[in-house]
Amino acid sequence: MLFLLLGAGARQVRMPPMLILGIESSCDETGIALYSPDAGGLLLAHALHSQILMHREYGGVVPELASRDHIRRAVPLLRKVMRDSGHSLTELAAVAYTQGPGLAGALLVGAAFAEGLAASLGIPTVPVHHLEGHLLSPLLSRTPPCFPFIALLVSGGHSQLMRVTGVGEYQLLGETLDDAAGEAFDKTAKLLGLPYPGGPALAELAEHGQPDTVKLPRPMLHSGDLDFSFSGLKTAVLTKVREMGNLDEQQRANIARGFQDAIIDVLVSKSMHAVRQSGLKRLVVAGGVGANRELRRQLNAQAARLGISVFYPELEFCTDNGAMIALAGALRFQAGCSIKPAGAFAVRPRWPLAELTG
């Protein structure tokens, strides 16, 4: 509140909220959101368009089609967000957007849209690291974690364990040496003849599988470090499928269950090891694989035994979305980090999170 002294009295003048627009276009989802960091933070509106149905016909993401679809969706989604929020573009303080990593063409669409919009409004931009958005997304939940915490980031392209001390303060503890967990889910789903996107379809099929029927390895479970490796597990599934021949529905479900159990055993074990090693009592789980119900169930069970609190983003914010970009951009804007005048820009399709600093 700002107090204006008028004679002997005073009245309160309510300052307008700081508004940060977030734009996400790194792969096959176009997301736009409006966030205010004032008064503890508030997501004012968000909208998302998924390209799943378009890419399903091809069995995976087609980069050129993804880029073209982002172009079609950006303006309608922006209009919806501003209408739903009750605010106007002239009230924006900055525009945040995903600079990388991701598909080069898709990133360019979001970056160009954000930079052009900001230039027209005479406001700065905040380029955001896509994985930082995921790492911070649990802060949007009803029960957000406090810094510091250990983060398990599990998505289609990344499996990492991080120590997160604050915005821009990330220490890599372990990562995948080959396929990420989400990538292994998708490739195994394709082996089992499941539709794109494979990860959710495999998880659903696994719910009908019988436990301990199909034995699969737990890669690097006892490696003594916090790294992962899932390409060998995918190969083990391929070998099992060939051995079993023509699979009926129950056999497919049993393989899916065996695969999912193997992935989860490794993720849970390494996560608990990271938390114990750090001495912290908070674990954050983010990324698309973090929506897996069985992973959440087992993490919660193990954490309860160790007196650890586990935090997740809301299910709608597990996959790519504009809300997490608006949040990360707002936190960086408040801290005076990564702010630049609108105009010239470059995207970073390959951008290790370890290179990100406050």
Residues 155 and 105 in one domain: no
* pLDDT score for 156: 79
Helix (H, G, I), strand (E, B) or coil at 133: helix
Q: How far apart are CA 178 and CA 220, in angstroms?
A: 12
Peptide bond into 148 cis (omega under 30): yes
Percent residues over pLDDT 70 in the chain: 96
Residues 173 and 208 in one domain: yes
Name the residue range of residue 89's domain. 11-136+318-355
pLDDT 10s digits, 87-101: 999 999 999 999 999
Q: How far apart are CA 97 and CA 125, in angstroms?
A: 8
The residue assigned the tokens 């529905």 is: 249
Give the mean pLDDT of 18-42: 95
Residues 17 and 114 in one domain: yes
Q: Which two tokens stand for residue 342?
A: 């609108």
In a domain, 2, yes or no: no
In a domain, 89, yes or no: yes
In a domain, 3, yes or no: no
In a domain, 93, yes or no: yes
Residues 216 and 256 in one domain: yes
Residues 337 and 299 in one domain: no
pLDDT 10s digits, 164-173: 999 999 999 9
pLDDT 10s digits, 245-275: 899 999 999 999 999 999 999 999 999 999 9
Residues 151 and 264 in one domain: yes
Q: Which two tokens stand for residue 123?
A: 């406001």
* Domains identified in the chain, total number: 2
* Mean pLDDT value across the chain: 93
* pLDDT score for 5: 34
Q: How far apart are CA 220 and CA 212, in angstroms?
A: 19
| Helix or strand holding residue 2 (H, E) | strand 2-6
- Supply the CATH number for residue 181's domain: 3.30.420.40
Q: Which two tokens stand for residue 44?
A: 């004012």
Residues 92 and 125 in one domain: yes
Q: Which two tokens stand for residue 38?
A: 């004032």
Q: How far is CA 189 from CA 60, 183, 185, in A?
A: 12, 10, 6
pTM: 0.93
Confidence at 355, pLDDT banded by 50, 70, 90? confident
Which of 249, 243, 171 minimizes the C-alpha distance to 209? 249
